[in-house]
Chains A and B, each alone.
Chain A
Amino acid sequence: MEGGLVLLGGGGSSGVSTDESAVSKVEVVSEASSFPAESELELGLGLSLGRSSVGTTGRTKAGTSSWGECGRILTAKDFSSVVSHRTNNGGPSSVAVSETKRAAESISHEGGSPTDVSQVVGWPPIRAYRMNSLVNQAKAPRVEEDKEIGEKDKPKDALKKKLYDSSAVNDKGHLGFVKVNMDGIPIGRKVDLNAHSCYESLALALEDMFLRSANSVGAGMEQVTKPSKLLDGSSELVLTYEDKEGDWMLVGDVPWRMFLSSVRRLRIMRTSEANGLAPRFHQGNERQRIKPI
């Protein structure tokens, strides 16, 4: 497998890479064969050492995984064609960038996760602690308010307009990892909110994580359109979140983007405990169905 999960924005070639080796890198790799072969290694040096032919198979089977990587999985082959164009001559290479953007749009999946930013997990290697601060600082400017303690969305002045223009593209910020705890389970998990574009896919991912055994193959192959029990109140568990003000709310009441900007962490709790929470429960018997965006 080459390159694994790479920039979603890379390359325009279609289809999942199968047993093609890195042919686009011939001119580089040929240097390798000029080194003396280590006798004890007997590698039979070549471009492709019987490398796995299906790359990240488990994840590409259905194109999605329970972690909700809703885009197509690219491999180095897709990527290398972009690399050869990437000539950062001291500034943005507009050709490569627009190619990147078009390519990204052409492969965007029905899951609809953001395609114009890097989706590689853990890259660039910036610690979660720092990412959180970046996200909070890069949020779109809001109306000037009185300075509240710990208020994270401080108004910014014109000096920083440049900063916001570029990050408006990914105004969700990239750190989407929030903690999820479920009643009765001591160890929490983390979920990447940015890998989801709607409540349904998030709820399904959480169901996979907590309500199904890790051994079931094919977990995560659900269609995104199937309704989630966590959201419609039909199961004994309900999905809640803590917002910026520290209040616990039912998930699903506000538009997805508004949810993203205020959620701090999630909790799956028993319906019986959730009674003090919800606007939704006060609306009589009306059940809101959350429609995917």
Chain B
Amino acid sequence: MQKKMAYSFPDEVLEHVFSFIQSDKDRNAVSMVCKSWYDIERWCRRKIFVGNCYAVNPRIVIRRFPEVRSIELKGKPHFADFNLVPDGWGGYVFPWILEMARAYPWLEEIRLKRMVVTDESLELIAKSFKNFKVLVLFSCEGFSTDGLAAIAASCKNLRELDLRDSEVDDLSGHWLSHFPETYTSLVSLNISCLGSDEVSFSALERLVGRCPNLRTLLLNRAVPLDKIANILRRAPQLVEFGTGTYTAELRPDVFSYLAGAFSSCKELRSLSGFWEAVPAYIPAIYSVCSRLTSLNLSFATIQNPDLIKLVSLCPSLQRLLVLDYIEDSGLEALASSCKDLQELRVFPSDPFGVEPNVSLTEQGLVAISWGCPKLESVLYFCRQMSNAALVTIAQNRPNLTRFRLCIIDPKTVDYLTHEPLDVGFGAIVEHCKDLRRLSLSGLLTDRVFDYIGTYAKKLEMLSVAFAGDSDLGLHHVLSGCESLRKLEIRDCPFGDKALLANAAKLETMRSLWMSSCSVSFGACKLLGQKMPRLNVEVIDERGHPDSRPESCPVDKLYIYRSVAGPRVDMPPFVWTKDEDSSLRLS
């Protein structure tokens, strides 16, 4: 009787129900209920997220999901951000664009992270997708302003162009002029990464002036302070704004014009940019401070007391990125004025200085943990830490979901007790039951990994550097962290045993990165042979691993699950269990 009811339910009704289900995880769950649901779901899935572009290939995706409108792809491993992945490793988007140009003519959105994007890819996008609306290139590289010009010229329905943190070859600032005069649909433009000294200001102003729906505008350093006011006056509806270089000689007329421009932006909620900011011009933004929910001062060179004064004027702040110029005193002020703070990132102003240049210690973070009840995401660079401070933070803020602590000198001990920081981080994972992301630093033994394996059941991403004593540490994590998806390790004494003993675990994760550890090539080959659904890549620029003694560990190791089989675009310095060089480029 129930069976009959299920079969008589028309597909369109199910499709309609499924359309309310947006999250990938839920969609995946829906597709596994039964075969008919799988079939219906795949035809109406519009949005795809591929966390590792090598876990699958375009043909497999297209075959299963024929009507995709939006795709997100991630390429290189996270440690590529810190120059640990050699150039040429991979992450090329072109093969994807090529296939999608054929299969998804109605594709509207492409979001890429850490991928190599060429001008050719951009030109193909511009040519192939008539209704293209969103292009986000997060930490990408390989393209120039020529590619951007092609996008500007052809994508009549473009809403969003976001180049955040990408490396763009600036050939000419005139690419902006390629947006036709008839083009008015821009909603979001982020060009903050561009270095070009020749941003065409008139083209920019005209573009801003004719796009009434513009909500987000993040300028690059080349836009000088005295040009901002005109831009703001043309776009008073802006919600998110990033200045260019925020320094100029103080001139009262320029100042008041700018202050007036800011005050006319009643919707403004987020500010960023502020390169080389001078205190004299900071008061120009005071009128918007009370409404600000997000403030990125991490490129601003202003110090206390100007910095404290600014931050204290922003009681609605939910997100703050700042340099350590804020010091402990500034964080204490923040803790008392910004009760809605959810995310805090404190970056070092002088990471390579031998001695601290500012008075920022663990006390600042402790103060925040006392004062900000909604705090859930922390990225904190400092030079000293204690177990006691970490325990306090953990007890105060069990609602933390992301905790990334970087004590600048590797293996720094608890400065009060001279002990490792195992207990402190142990408290973090014990109290913060919803912790999803954790980065460790300081002197740590295998004990901290025992804590993590025991308590961090929701942990999805763990970053480890210069920590641990033996394979037991790695084993604790791999065997204990049930939700682990991404594990990245550098400079730790972890070797073959824990890896091989937990081989099956690796298939439940997106990826594992290990560099400067103690894994042998033999173990890598073995792992690759035993686990056909894992790609085990040894990244080593010193030549073939067999040319070194058996005991010599591999330089870098990147393991990820894949249904696409071994890559076909591996560079010469990537070695796998197949030593077949016909699988190589060149």
Contact A87 B573 (CB under 8 A): no
Assuming the contacts A6-B410, A86-B412, A169-B353, asked whether A213 and B82 have C-beta atoms less than 8 A apart, the reply is no
Assuming the contacts A83-B411, A90-B361, A177-B83, asked whether A56 and B551 have C-beta atoms less than 8 A apart, the reply is no
Main secondary structure of the interface of A (DSSP, over half): loop
Assuming the contacts A32-B447, A43-B497, A147-B249, asked whether A217 and B549 have C-beta atoms less than 8 A apart, the reply is no
**Chain A interface size, under 10 / 10 to 19 / 20 to 34 / 35 or more:** 35 or more
Complex Cα distance, B165 from A41, in Å, reads 43
Complex Cα distance, B384 from A137, in Å, reads 25
List of A residues within 8 angstroms of B552 by Cβ = 52, 54, 57-58
Contact A53 B469 (CB under 8 A): no
List of A residues within 8 angstroms of B549 by Cβ = 54, 57
Task: Check: A2 CB closer than 8 A to any chain B CB.
Answer: yes
Main secondary structure of the interface of B (DSSP, over half): loop
List of A residues within 8 angstroms of B495 by Cβ = 49-52
Task: Check: B471 CB closer than 8 A to any chain A CB.
Answer: yes
A186 nearest in chain B by CB position? B118
- A147-166 interface (Cβ within 8 A of B): 147, 149-150, 152, 154, 156, 159-160, 162-163, 166
Contact B415 A89 (CB under 8 A): yes
Contact B572 A125 (CB under 8 A): no
Task: Check: A4 CB closer than 8 A to any chain B CB.
Answer: yes
Which stretch of A23-31, A105-113, A232-240, A251-259 is in the interface?
Answer: A23-31
Task: Check: B555 CB closer than 8 A to any chain A CB.
Answer: yes
Assuming the contacts A162-B357, A189-B87, asked whether A123 and B465 have C-beta atoms less than 8 A apart, the reply is yes
Give min CB distance, A204 to chain B, whole Å. Answer: 15
Contact A88 B551 (CB under 8 A): no
Contact A32 B470 (CB under 8 A): yes
Complex Cα distance, B299 from A236, in Å, reads 43
Assuming the contacts A5-B491, A89-B415, A188-B87, asked whether A125 and B406 have C-beta atoms less than 8 A apart, the reply is yes
- Interface residue from B353, B412, B418 paired with A166 (Cβ < 8 Å): B353
Give min CB distance, B174 to chain A, whole Å. Answer: 14
Contact A159 B469 (CB under 8 A): no
Contact B357 A166 (CB under 8 A): yes
Complex Cα distance, B384 from A33, in Å, reads 28
List of A residues within 8 angstroms of B516 by Cβ = 1, 3-5, 56
Give min CB distance, B248 to chain A, whole Å. Answer: 6
List of B residues within 8 angstroms of A270 by Cβ = none
Assuming the contacts A3-B466, A147-B247, asked whether A100 and B354 have C-beta atoms less than 8 A apart, the reply is yes
Contact B413 A83 (CB under 8 A): yes
Task: Check: A7 CB closer than 8 A to any chain B CB.
Answer: yes
Assuming the contacts A25-B469, A127-B81, asked whether A58 and B518 have C-beta atoms less than 8 A apart, the reply is no
List of A residues within 8 angstroms of B501 by Cβ = 40-41
List of A residues within 8 angstroms of B349 by Cβ = 134, 138, 163
Task: Check: A246 CB closer than 8 A to any chain B CB.
Answer: yes
A189 nearest in chain B by CB position? B87
Interface flags for A1-44 (1: CB within 8 Å of B; 0: not) read: 11111110100000000000010010011011001001011010
Q: List 18 A-B contacts (CB under 8 A).
A: A4-B490, A4-B515, A51-B495, A58-B542, A58-B548, A80-B411, A86-B413, A123-B410, A124-B348, A124-B381, A128-B82, A150-B195, A159-B279, A162-B357, A166-B353, A166-B355, A167-B352, A187-B87
Q: Which 4 A-B pairs have the closest CB atoms?
A: A4-B516, A122-B82, A58-B542, A92-B355
